[in-house]
Amino acid sequence: MTRSDTIGFAPRDRDWHPPAYTPAYRSSLLRSPRRQPIALDHSTGELTGPVFGHADVSSLDSDLLANFAAPDISPIGERILIHGRVLDEQARPVPNTLVEIWQANASGRYRHKNDSYLGALDPQFGGCGRALTDQQGRYQFRTLKPGAYPWPNGGNDWRPAHVHFSIFGHAYAQRLITQLYFEGDPLIAHCPIVNTIADPKAVDRLIAKLDLTETVPFDMVAYKFDIVLRGACSTVFENRLEGN
């Protein structure tokens, strides 16, 4: 038994995650609770059985440059590779974990019927993908760098380029959701959602770093984004504001 196997869970730092009620983020006015939360027992359906089949995830699922495009046609935009590892609080890899992503296209528009932004839709880009981590907790996606877009929060607020991440365990209740931002984007500092996070170190955990060691020459640059599920260096998860 190694030393890491004997270390218990680190206490939650509840100041690491943002408060549920943050007036500058207008949506939090309706979403935040007004009373103390109560604990509810999970149902059997939430606690048992995987919510996906490992055999259903193919290599094409993680290639957003091809999984919605017609043969021999590429979507429009800056081609990038996003890669990283899913780790526990002791920096040990978490294998066979389902990682899903969804994002806007290069013009800042989602392929969703309710997205009315004037950015152009790209018929070759679906904007979503999934991958299973390997035995070292590694994942990767080929995709496009999403564009920034305006949103009706304060009159002139813009979302930085970002990619949504969902990390699944082996039951429905074991799901964490977060967002990836890109190193060097000046809009990060002005985003009301990002600014709900008080600790700059926690914000930094959400920023993918340029990784020239994994760049594909004459094809795409790479960004590295490790996801830590719990502990002092946990990634901030938007659906677990109380800590995870």
Given 83, 159, 205, 230, the catalytic residue: 159
Task: Provide the token pair at 137.
Answer: 């907790």
| Cβ neighbours for 26, distance < 8 A, ≥ 6 positions apart | 152, 153, 154, 192
Given 17, 85, 109, 110, the catalytic residue: 110
- Please tell me the distance from the alpha carbon of residue 30 to that of residue 34, in angstroms, as a whole number: 10
> Do the beta carbons of residue 125 and residue 111 sit within 8 Å?
yes
Query: 83 catalytic, yes or no?
Result: no
Query: 112 catalytic, yes or no?
Result: no
Query: 25 catalytic, yes or no?
Result: no
Given 25, 139, 149, 181, the catalytic residue: 149
Given 162, 205, 223, 230, the catalytic residue: 162
> Do the beta carbons of residue 20 and residue 28 sit within 8 Å?
yes
CA distance readout (Å), 184 to 37, 131, 161, 187, 235? 38, 26, 11, 9, 19
Task: Provide the token pair at 150.
Answer: 């305006």
Given 85, 109, 164, 230, the catalytic residue: 164
Q: Would you name the residues annotated as active-site residues?
A: 110, 149, 159, 162, 164
